[in-house]
Structure 1
Amino acid sequence: MAGKAETTKRILDSTMKLAAEHGWRATGLGDIADAANVSLVELNKHYGSKIEILAAFIERTDAKVLAENAKAGASTTAAESSAEDEEEAARDRLFDVLMCRFDALTPHKAAIQRIARDLARDPLALFCLLPHQARSLAWMLEGAGISSSGISGRLRARGLGLVYLSAMRAWFKDDSEDLSATMGALDRALGRADTAVRSAPFRCL
């Protein structure tokens, strides 16, 4: 098991390093296998495509964020936060979870920038990645103590996706150590989402 985990780590880290250096479109499966010091046969046993590798990177990030979130005790349910207005508390928890995610992604920012740029020119690859991103956003909601189940949960995940993309644009340009620009952009995006929900004819948050 340890050997498999180490191989997986090498593959994911090598993929991000190559993407940062050469771009996503220019990085082939053979390049990834060489950089990770595995054969194509072994790489294929782990992942069937570059999208699967990227999905695995997203899942690894999810796991890290959820673990850090649990350690910090940020996943508080509505019943546990009765002393506060629950909507404001939920927004604060989402802020903490997403900032934890940006912290986790910062070492790979250059790779993510190039991947995002290349995927924007590859609609099919982007379409294939969307279910993985949607699942990731659902886990971020759950990490903040907000249900991702049912139609309401899917609507929440879609709304969170817009918030996340808005903050990510700021994160790409944010070179500060404390990610202050990202925090400001995320806070404003969550505020806009909160206003939209409050003014909607039905409430899903």
Structure 2
Amino acid sequence: MDNTDSPLLDALFNVIAQHGWRGVTVGRLSAAAGIPAGELVRRFPSRLDLLRLHADSVADQVAAGTVPGQGGTPRDRVFDVLMRGIDALLPHRAGMLRLASDMWRDPVLAGALAPILQRSMERMLDAAELESSGLQGKLRAAGLVGVWIMTVRAWEKDETADLGSTMAALDRALDRAEQTARSLRLDPGDRAVPVSED
């Protein structure tokens, strides 16, 4: 993401916080971002393009903070990258919470966001140095989407400075993902979220 897009994302989530997802219009976003409406429409024909930009921004921040060959168990690495993903959401917390609230109530929006979340979790797996390609990678990313959603649900209610409740929820979500994989008797490489094997 171009650094010049940061003010645009700030404007996007300010508009979402005030008006909700359905209230994101070209006029409001243009006024909030100080960008001509024509340029916005040219660069982002769909509002979802802006959410893709934001998802890429979050993944870029997580990748930038990742040390190659970081070590630790796969579960530890997944935990680390997802919590850093939550940290990257903090500057837009109010808008993110409004967007999440809208998504829980709007199945059409949830369906539109699904491929964005899938791609985002594939990039999180990459940051955790876990395979994200092929069928196994797709299954892992799909499992990680569920873990991410449970974590965000906890983050919505977490007002603590250290995000202790969010971290605890993420830990529980990873436990459930691992238990599900075992109950389905999947081979370790086929687990939706690889939390115990390299």
- State the TM-score bracket (shorter-chain normalisation): 0.7 to 0.9
Q: How does 1:8-157 map to 2 (within 5 A)?
A: 8-70=5-67, 73=68, 76=70, 81=71, 89-157=73-141
**Are the aligned partners of 1:29 and 1:49 in contact in 2 as well (CA < 8 Å)?**
no
Q: Which residue of structure 1 aligns with residue 173 of structure 2?
A: 189
**Are the aligned partners of 1:148 and 1:157 in contact in 2 as well (CA < 8 Å)?**
yes
Structure 2 spans left out of the alignment, 5+ residues: 192-198
Residues in 2 aligned to 1:125 and 1:173: alpha-carbon distance in whole angstroms: 22
Residues in 2 aligned to 1:26 and 1:132: alpha-carbon distance in whole angstroms: 20
Which has more radius of gyration?
1
Q: What do you get for the CA RMSD once the two structures are aligned?
A: 1.9
Give the TM-score taking structure 2 as reference length.
Answer: 0.88
Residues in 2 aligned to 1:27 and 1:119: alpha-carbon distance in whole angstroms: 14
Give the TM-score taking structure 1 as reference length.
Answer: 0.85
Tell me the alpha carbon deviations over residues 92-128 of structure 1, each in whole angstroms, 9 at most, x when there is no partner.
1000000001111122121111112223444333323
Deviation >6 Å, runs of 4+:
none
Letter in 2 for 1:164: W
Residues in 2 aligned to 1:198 and 1:123: alpha-carbon distance in whole angstroms: 30
Letter in 1 for 2:155: W
Deviation of the 1:45 alpha carbon: 2.4
SS of residue paired to 2:162: coil
Residues in 1 aligned to 2:130 and 2:114: alpha-carbon distance in whole angstroms: 21
Residues in 2 aligned to 1:28 and 1:44: alpha-carbon distance in whole angstroms: 11
Residues in 1 aligned to 2:108 and 2:175: alpha-carbon distance in whole angstroms: 32
Q: Which moved more, 1:121-130 or 1:176-185?
A: 121-130
Count, aligned residues: 189
Tell me the alpha carbon deviations over residues 161-193 of structure 1, each in whole angstroms, 9 at most, x when there is no partner.
111111111111001111000000101111111
Q: Which moved more, 1:136-145 or 1:8-17?
A: 8-17
